[in-house]
Amino acid sequence: MKQFTYLITTDFPMHFGPAGQLAALARTYPDSEATIEMGTRSANISRPMKVATMGIRKGDKVTVTVEGPSEVEFIDVLYQYFEDRM
């Protein structure tokens, strides 16, 4: 299991566009599962509707966790996604 915690710094909230992009990334690693957590809420990254309705906004801290055979590579890809867009 690999994970990172990230502080959302953009004014642009997590909506269906970014959530869909995360789901597309998840499809490239079908052997691993990724989840995003904020407080008591969590969602599988491959489920964009669930991620988009979490209400993630600027100032929120999220934790991303990946488990599976490709977790090392997948966690790096997800971290870079957050660095580039969040």
pLDDT in tens, 22-73: 999 999 999 999 999 999 999 999 999 999 999 999 999 999 999 999 999 9
Q: What is the CATH number of the domain that holds 32?
A: 3.30.1340.10
Percent of the chain with pLDDT over 70: 100
> Partners of 62 in the beta sheet?
6
Alpha-carbon distance 29 to 52, whole Å? Answer: 20
For the question of whether the overall pTM of this predicted structure is more than 0.75, the answer is yes
Neighbour tally for 50: CB within 10 Å: 17
**What burial class does residue 85 get, using C-beta atoms within 10 Å of its C-beta: 0-12 exposed, 13-18 middle, 19+ buried?**
middle
- pLDDT for 16 equals 86
User: Would you state the structure tokens that stand for residue 21, as one six-digit string?
Assistant: 């992009």
Structural domain that includes position 46: 2-85
Q: How many domains does the chain have?
A: 1
